[in-house]
Amino acid sequence: DVKVTQSSRYLVKRTGEKVFLECVQDMDHENMFWYRQDPGLGLRLIYFSYDVKMKEKGDIPEGYSVSREKKERFSLILESASTNQTSMYLCASRVAGVAKNIQYFGAGTRLSVL
């Protein structure tokens, strides 16, 4: 079974803090994704990494950066957390390439910025 693990289920941070959200997958997938989920808005793509050290901005990258130094790990960084970044963050991975490939998700990190 594919396993995507997000390091924290819940996080509470202060405005202005630097926040790291970590995601690890164990299936040697090339592609990894970070989404944010908000009520009524569904899932919105923040960043996508198609391989180690490779990344592309998604639909809402402002205020975020990412790091992919190893194939299995994809980190989402909030350089200076703000209250409007309070949300559920979901990581996903999949085999590289075509549109049919299934994305597998982690359990999510619920981040509160106070």
The residues of the shown chain that bind other proteins, judged by CB under 8 A, are 9, 31, 40-45, 48, 50, 56, 58, 88, 90, 92, 98-100, 102-108, 110
DSSP 18-63: -EEEEEEESS--SEEEEEEEETTTEEEEEEEEEETTEEEE-S--TT
DSSP one-letter code for 103: P
Q: Which is nearer to other proteins, 57 or 73 (CB)?
A: 57
Nearest distance in Å: CB 90, other proteins: 7
Nearest distance in Å: CB 43, other proteins: 4
Nearest distance in Å: CB 22, other proteins: 16
